[in-house]
C-alpha cells in the first residue's frame, strides 16, 4: 500500500489535528494512506517564556520567527520523516522536500499536488508573524509554496490545503477512483463539466435533456463540450496551454465552436 507521510511544523498543532478527521482526508488517514504528525517550535525554545519570535532588525511592526527553535523543529520533523521513510531529506537529488508555505512562493496547483503526492513524504512549515528569519529559509527550505495572491495570518490553512490535495490523490483515498480522474485540471488540464442530481426540475430549472437520456456517447460528448466551453470562458489560459501542447484537436475545436454558438443563441433568447 502506498503511503505518504507529512510532518507539519506549526505553533498550532491542535488546529492542524482538528481539521484532519473529516471526509476524504479523514478516511485517507484512517486507512493509513496518509500519516500526519506535527512538530511545535515551542518545544525547542528555551527561557522562561519559551519564546519563538523576536523584534525585526531594522525596526517596523510585527515579529519574526527566531532561527533557533524553528530550525530545530524543522530538523526534528525531517529526522523523523527520514527515519520512517528511509529517504533522505532536502537537497536537489530528489530527497524529501521541506516546504515553507508562503505568500511569496510559487503558486500551488494540481500539477504540484501530483508531484508531491508521488513522494514518500513532506515537511510542511507553517509560518506565523511576519514570517521566519530568512536564514532559516535559506538553510532549511527546499521549496516555497503559495496558495495565491493574498496574505493569511498563518501557514496552517495553506498546509492543510496541500495535505488535502495530496491525500485525495493517494490510490484508495476516494470512494470511486474515477472521481480523481474526471475532475478539474485532470482531463487535458480542463475545468470540470457541470453536475446535476435529482430532482429533474428545480425552481423552474431543468437538468439538461441529454443527461436524462442515458445515451453514453452523447453524454460524454456533452460533458467534453461543457468542459471545453467553461474553461474557455473562465480560464482561457488553460485552453491556450492545451493548444500549445497540441491537445486542441479538430473534435475539440468543433465542440468549442458549438458551445459558443449555443451560448450566443441562449443569450439572444
| Residue 52 or 227 with smaller CB distance to ligand SAM | 52
**Are the CB atoms for 141 and 70 separated by under 8 Å?**
no
Site for ligand SAM contains 1 (CB under 6 A): no
Asked if 54 is part of the footprint of ligand SAM (rule: CB under 6 A), the reply reads no
Query: What DSSP character marks residue 82?
Result: H
Among 10, 71, 146, 226, binds ligand SAM (CB under 6 A): 146
CA distance 154 to 12: 10
Given a contact cutoff of 8 angstroms between Cβ atoms, the answer to whether 29 and 18 are in contact is: no
Long-range contact pairs involving 176-185 (C-beta distance under 8 Å, separation at least 24):
184/110, 185/109, 185/110, 185/111
Query: CB under 6 A: which stretch of 35-43, 53-61, 102-110, 200-208 binds ligand SAM?
Result: 102-110
Q: Which lies closer to ligand SAM via its Cβ, residue 101 or residue 227? A: 101
147 is a site residue for ligand SAM (CB under 6 A): yes
Q: Which of 56, 68, 154, 194 binds ligand SAM (CB under 6 A)?
A: 154
Length of the chain: 269
The yes or no reply on residue 151 touching ligand SAM (CB under 6 A) is yes
What sign does the dihedral 143-146-151-153 (CA atoms) show? negative
C-beta of residue 129 within 8 angstroms of C-beta of residue 11: no
What x/- string results for residues 8 through 47 when contact with ligand SAM is judged by CB under 6 A?
A: ----------------------------------------
The number of residues that bind ligand SAM (CB under 6 A) is 19
In the complex, the smallest distance separating the C-beta of residue 141 from ligand SAM, rounded to whole angstroms, is 11
Cα–Cα distance for residue pair 106/193, rounded to 1 Å:
27
Taking the CB of residue 103, how many other CB atoms lie within 10 A of it? 16
Rounded distance between C-alpha atoms, residue 13 and residue 140, angstroms: 20
Binding positions for ligand SAM, 112-141, rule CB under 6 A: 126-128, 130-131
Residues 222-261 that bind ligand SAM (CB under 6 A): none
**Nearest Cα residue to 174 out of 2, 24, 29, 3:** 24
Bridge partner list, 64: 54
Return the range that interacts with ligand SAM (CB under 6 A); candidates 17-25, 40-48, 95-103, 212-220.
Answer: 95-103
Give min distance, CB of 128 to ligand SAM, in A.
Answer: 5
Taking CB under 6 A as the criterion, the residue among 72, 103, 120, 187 binding ligand SAM is 103
- The residue of the chain with the least Cβ separation from ligand SAM equals 127
Q: Of all helices (H) and strands (E), which one includes residue 5?
A: strand 4-9
List contacts with ligand SAM (CB under 6 A). 101-104, 126-128, 130-131, 146-148, 150-155, 158
Amino acid at each position: 500500500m502506498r503511503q505518504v507521510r507529512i510532518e507539519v511544523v506549526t505553533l498550532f498543532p491542535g488546529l492542524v489535528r482538528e481539521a484532519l478527521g473529516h471526509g476524504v482526508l479523514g478516511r485517507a488517514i484512517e486507512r493509513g494512506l496518509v500519516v500526519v504528525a506535527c512538530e511545535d517550535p515551542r518545544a525547542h525554545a528555551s527561557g522562561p517564556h519559551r519564546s519563538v519570535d523576536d523584534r525585526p532588525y531594522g525596526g517596523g511592526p510585527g515579529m519574526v520567527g527566531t532561527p533557533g527553535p524553528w530550525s530545530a523543529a524543522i530538523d526534528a520533523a525531517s529526522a523523523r520523516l527520514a527515519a520512517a521513510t528511509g529517504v533522505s531529506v532536502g537537497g536537489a537529488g530528489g530527497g524529501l522536500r521541506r516546504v515553507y508555505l508562503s505568500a511569496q512562493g510559487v503558486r500551488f496547483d494540481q500539477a504540484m499536488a501530483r508531484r508531491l503526492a508521488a513522494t514518500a513524504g513532506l515537511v510542511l512549515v507553517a509560518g506565523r508573524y511576519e514570517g521566519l528569519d530568512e536564514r532559516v529559509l535559506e538553510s532549511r527550505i527546499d521549496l516555497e509554496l503559495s496558495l495565491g495572491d493574498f496574505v493569511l495570518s498563518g501557514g496552517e490553512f495553506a498546509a492543510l490545503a496541500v495535505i488535502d490535495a495530496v491525500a485525495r490523490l493517494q490510490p484508495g483515498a476516494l470512494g470511486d477512483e474515477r472521481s480523481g480522474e474526471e475532475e478539474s485540471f485532470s482531463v487535458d488540464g480542463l475545468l470540470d463539466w457541470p453536475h446535476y442530481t435529482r430532482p429533474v426540475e428545480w425552481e423552474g430549472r431543468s437538468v439538461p435533456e441529454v443527461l436524462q437520456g442515458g445515451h453514453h456517447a452523447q453524454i460524454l460528448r456533452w460533458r467534453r463540450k461543457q468542459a471545453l466551453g467553461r474553461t474557455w470562458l473562465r480560464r482561457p489560459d488553460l485552453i491556450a496551454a492545451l493548444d500549445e501542447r497540441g491537445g486542441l484537436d479538430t473534435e475539440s475545436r468543433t465542440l468549442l465552436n458549438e458551445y459558443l454558438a449555443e451560448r450566443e443563441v441562449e443569450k439572444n433568447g
